[in-house]
Homo-oligomer: A and B are copies of this chain.
Amino acid sequence: MNNFGYVLDMKNYSIQRESILKTVQGTHSHPTAEWVFSKVKKTLPNVSLGTVYRNLGLLADNGKIQAIHFDGVIHYDGTMENHQHFYCIECKTIIDIHIPNKSFVSEVEQKTNHIIANSHVHMNGICKSCKSK
């Protein structure tokens, strides 16, 4: 058993995968594959973009990181705890919102009879600091 406890297709350890995981976990900036690629390249200059994409996908599939789609681009998030996102249309920043939306989700489950596996609130607007300018 490797030190990640991988399942499914992630059977072997690789330094690339470890670096990609650590890079996503080490930021709150909701990076794209391209950004992760540029970071990982600093310690592993020969890493390929395809490897970054493949591993980000695998890590998300295996519940190690989250994939969030923003305007047609995949962003990754190392925080697995359920939380929401606010996008500032002014400074183009994605801000984490750690406020639960549980009552809404259970209201929907109750009224619709669908099973909700996961949910995500995506908010757009003007952030606190842009507002005060």
Contacts and interface: CB of A to CB of B under 8 A. Distances in A.
Contacts of A112: 86, 95, 97, 128
Contacts of A115: 125-127, 131
Q: For the complex, would chain A's binding face be called helix, strand, loop or mixed by DSSP majority? A: strand
B114 A131 contact: yes
A133 interface: no
Copies of this chain held together in the complex: 2
Given A108-B123, A114-B131, A118-B124, 6 more contacts: A69-B69, A72-B73, A114-B125, A114-B126, A115-B126, A121-B121
15 contacts: A69-B72, A89-B117, A99-B104, A99-B111, A103-B104, A104-B104, A114-B123, A115-B131, A116-B124, A117-B126, A118-B123, A119-B122, A119-B124, A120-B121, A120-B123
